[in-house]
Structure 1
Amino acid sequence: MLTTRLAKPGRGPHPDRPAGGNTPHTPARPGWHCRVDGQPWPCGEARLLLPVEFRDNVPGLTIYLAGLMYEAMRDLYQLNPHDGPEPEDLFTRFVAWAARRTERAQ
Protein backbone atom coordinates (compact mmCIF):
# COMPACT_ATOMS: atom_id res chain seq x y z
CA MET A 1 0.00 0.00 0.00
CA LEU A 2 1.46 3.33 -1.06
CA THR A 3 0.14 5.35 1.89
CA THR A 4 2.18 3.34 4.39
CA ARG A 5 5.40 4.39 2.68
CA LEU A 6 4.89 8.15 2.98
CA ALA A 7 7.48 10.08 4.91
CA LYS A 8 6.44 11.52 8.25
CA PRO A 9 5.21 15.10 7.71
CA GLY A 10 7.57 17.89 8.67
CA ARG A 11 6.71 20.71 11.03
CA GLY A 12 5.38 22.89 8.23
CA PRO A 13 5.72 26.57 7.47
CA HIS A 14 6.31 29.02 10.27
CA PRO A 15 4.71 32.45 10.27
CA ASP A 16 7.12 35.01 8.92
CA ARG A 17 4.99 37.99 9.83
CA PRO A 18 5.90 40.32 12.67
CA ALA A 19 4.58 39.35 16.06
CA GLY A 20 2.12 41.93 17.24
CA GLY A 21 -0.35 39.99 19.27
CA ASN A 22 -2.35 38.97 16.20
CA THR A 23 -2.02 35.37 15.11
CA PRO A 24 -1.44 35.34 11.35
CA HIS A 25 -3.77 33.44 9.02
CA THR A 26 -1.34 30.56 8.54
CA PRO A 27 -2.05 26.83 8.37
CA ALA A 28 -2.15 24.67 11.47
CA ARG A 29 -0.79 21.27 10.60
CA PRO A 30 -1.52 18.45 10.14
CA GLY A 31 -5.22 19.31 9.65
CA TRP A 32 -4.55 22.33 7.41
CA HIS A 33 -7.02 24.71 8.97
CA CYS A 34 -6.44 28.41 9.69
CA ARG A 35 -4.85 29.19 13.06
CA VAL A 36 -7.17 32.18 13.50
CA ASP A 37 -10.61 31.29 12.19
CA GLY A 38 -10.46 27.49 11.93
CA GLN A 39 -11.54 27.47 8.28
CA PRO A 40 -9.82 25.19 5.75
CA TRP A 41 -6.57 26.90 4.80
CA PRO A 42 -6.13 29.04 2.80
CA CYS A 43 -9.04 30.78 4.47
CA GLY A 44 -10.72 33.84 3.00
CA GLU A 45 -8.42 36.23 4.85
CA ALA A 46 -5.31 34.35 3.67
CA ARG A 47 -6.63 34.54 0.11
CA LEU A 48 -6.78 38.31 0.51
CA LEU A 49 -3.39 38.68 2.22
CA LEU A 50 -1.24 36.31 0.15
CA PRO A 51 -1.61 38.19 -3.18
CA VAL A 52 -0.62 41.38 -1.36
CA GLU A 53 2.50 39.70 0.04
CA PHE A 54 3.42 38.40 -3.44
CA ARG A 55 2.40 41.64 -5.19
CA ASP A 56 4.09 41.47 -8.56
CA ASN A 57 5.18 37.86 -8.27
CA VAL A 58 2.24 35.71 -9.34
CA PRO A 59 4.54 32.83 -10.36
CA GLY A 60 6.11 32.96 -6.89
CA LEU A 61 2.69 32.82 -5.24
CA THR A 62 1.68 29.87 -7.41
CA ILE A 63 4.90 27.98 -6.62
CA TYR A 64 4.50 28.72 -2.91
CA LEU A 65 0.90 27.47 -2.90
CA ALA A 66 1.78 24.37 -4.94
CA GLY A 67 4.47 23.49 -2.42
CA LEU A 68 2.02 23.88 0.44
CA MET A 69 -0.51 21.78 -1.47
CA TYR A 70 2.05 18.98 -1.68
CA GLU A 71 2.70 19.23 2.06
CA ALA A 72 -1.04 19.21 2.75
CA MET A 73 -1.47 16.09 0.61
CA ARG A 74 1.18 14.32 2.64
CA ASP A 75 -0.32 15.37 5.96
CA LEU A 76 -3.96 14.74 5.06
CA TYR A 77 -3.31 11.34 3.48
CA GLN A 78 -1.24 10.38 6.50
CA LEU A 79 -4.13 11.34 8.78
CA ASN A 80 -6.72 9.51 6.73
CA PRO A 81 -5.14 7.19 4.13
CA HIS A 82 -8.41 5.51 3.12
CA ASP A 83 -10.60 8.56 2.66
CA GLY A 84 -8.25 11.45 1.92
CA PRO A 85 -9.22 14.46 -0.18
CA GLU A 86 -9.23 14.20 -3.96
CA PRO A 87 -6.15 15.76 -5.63
CA GLU A 88 -8.39 17.94 -7.81
CA ASP A 89 -10.11 19.34 -4.71
CA LEU A 90 -6.76 20.15 -3.10
CA PHE A 91 -5.56 21.85 -6.31
CA THR A 92 -8.70 23.99 -6.37
CA ARG A 93 -8.34 24.80 -2.67
CA PHE A 94 -4.63 25.67 -2.75
CA VAL A 95 -3.64 26.83 -6.24
CA ALA A 96 -6.49 27.46 -8.68
CA TRP A 97 -8.02 30.38 -6.76
CA ALA A 98 -4.80 32.41 -7.10
CA ALA A 99 -4.78 32.10 -10.90
CA ARG A 100 -8.48 33.02 -11.15
CA ARG A 101 -7.97 36.00 -8.83
CA THR A 102 -5.04 37.26 -10.94
CA GLU A 103 -7.02 36.93 -14.17
CA ARG A 104 -9.89 38.98 -12.71
CA ALA A 105 -7.50 41.67 -11.46
CA GLN A 106 -6.07 42.18 -14.95
Structure 2
Amino acid sequence: MTIDHAAVRPSWDCVVCDQTWPCDPARESLRGEMPLPELATYMWSRLDEAVFDLPPTPSAVLFERFLKWTR
Protein backbone atom coordinates (compact mmCIF):
# COMPACT_ATOMS: atom_id res chain seq x y z
CA MET A 1 0.00 0.00 0.00
CA THR A 2 1.40 3.36 -1.00
CA ILE A 3 -0.29 6.67 -0.52
CA ASP A 4 1.28 10.01 -1.28
CA HIS A 5 -0.67 11.77 1.43
CA ALA A 6 0.90 9.93 4.36
CA ALA A 7 1.00 10.82 8.03
CA VAL A 8 4.06 12.33 9.65
CA ARG A 9 4.55 11.27 13.24
CA PRO A 10 4.23 12.51 15.89
CA SER A 11 1.98 15.29 14.56
CA TRP A 12 -0.17 13.01 12.38
CA ASP A 13 -0.36 15.74 9.76
CA CYS A 14 -0.14 14.97 6.05
CA VAL A 15 3.36 15.10 4.57
CA VAL A 16 2.00 16.60 1.31
CA CYS A 17 -0.76 19.06 2.23
CA ASP A 18 -0.05 19.61 5.95
CA GLN A 19 -3.71 18.93 6.86
CA THR A 20 -4.67 16.60 9.67
CA TRP A 21 -4.25 13.02 8.53
CA PRO A 22 -6.11 11.26 7.09
CA CYS A 23 -6.71 14.20 4.78
CA ASP A 24 -9.31 13.96 2.00
CA PRO A 25 -6.81 12.73 -0.64
CA ALA A 26 -5.53 10.05 1.77
CA ARG A 27 -9.07 8.93 2.54
CA GLU A 28 -9.89 8.68 -1.16
CA SER A 29 -6.72 6.71 -1.84
CA LEU A 30 -7.26 4.37 1.09
CA ARG A 31 -10.88 3.70 0.10
CA GLY A 32 -9.68 2.66 -3.34
CA GLU A 33 -6.99 0.32 -2.02
CA MET A 34 -8.82 -1.96 0.38
CA PRO A 35 -12.26 -3.33 1.22
CA LEU A 36 -14.20 -1.67 4.03
CA PRO A 37 -13.49 -4.19 6.82
CA GLU A 38 -9.76 -4.09 6.09
CA LEU A 39 -9.82 -0.28 5.86
CA ALA A 40 -11.59 0.04 9.21
CA THR A 41 -9.09 -2.34 10.82
CA TYR A 42 -6.16 -0.46 9.30
CA MET A 43 -7.50 2.89 10.50
CA TRP A 44 -8.17 1.48 13.98
CA SER A 45 -4.49 0.54 14.11
CA ARG A 46 -3.49 4.05 13.06
CA LEU A 47 -5.77 5.53 15.74
CA ASP A 48 -4.17 3.23 18.30
CA GLU A 49 -0.72 4.57 17.34
CA ALA A 50 -1.86 8.20 17.22
CA VAL A 51 -3.20 8.09 20.78
CA PHE A 52 0.38 7.81 22.02
CA ASP A 53 1.70 10.64 19.81
CA LEU A 54 -1.04 13.26 19.96
CA PRO A 55 -1.81 15.47 22.93
CA PRO A 56 -4.80 14.33 25.00
CA THR A 57 -7.76 14.38 22.64
CA PRO A 58 -11.40 13.43 23.30
CA SER A 59 -12.17 9.95 21.99
CA ALA A 60 -15.10 11.29 19.94
CA VAL A 61 -12.72 13.58 18.04
CA LEU A 62 -10.33 10.72 17.32
CA PHE A 63 -13.23 8.49 16.24
CA GLU A 64 -14.42 11.15 13.78
CA ARG A 65 -10.93 11.66 12.40
CA PHE A 66 -9.78 8.06 12.04
CA LEU A 67 -12.82 5.81 11.82
CA LYS A 68 -16.19 7.40 11.13
CA TRP A 69 -15.40 8.16 7.49
CA THR A 70 -14.67 4.49 6.81
CA ARG A 71 -18.36 3.53 7.04
Q: Which TM-score band applies after superposition, normalised by the shorter structure?
A: over 0.9
Higher CA-based Rg = 1
Q: Which runs of 4+ in 1 moved over 4 A?
A: none
- Give the C-alpha shift of residue 25 in structure 1: 0.5
What do residues 33-60 of structure 1 show as CA deviations (whole Å, max 9, x unaligned)?
0000000000010111100011xx2100
Deviations 1:51-90 (A, max 9, x none): 0011xx21000000000001001111xxx3xxx2111100
- Unpaired runs of 5+ residues, structure 2, are none
Q: 2:7 aligns with which of 8, 27, 52?
A: 27
State the partner residue of 1:72. 50
Aligned length: 71
Q: TM-score, normalised by structure 1?
A: 0.63
Query: Which of structures 1 and 2 has the larger relative contact order (alpha carbons within 8 angstroms, sep 6+)?
Result: 2
**% same residue:** 37
Q: CA deviation at 1:24?
A: 1.1
Q: Can you give the 5+ residue segments of structure 1 that lack an aligned partner in the other structure?
A: 1-15, 18-22, 100-106
Return the match for 1:40 from 3, 7, 20: 20
Q: So what's the TM-score if we normalise by structure 2?
A: 0.93
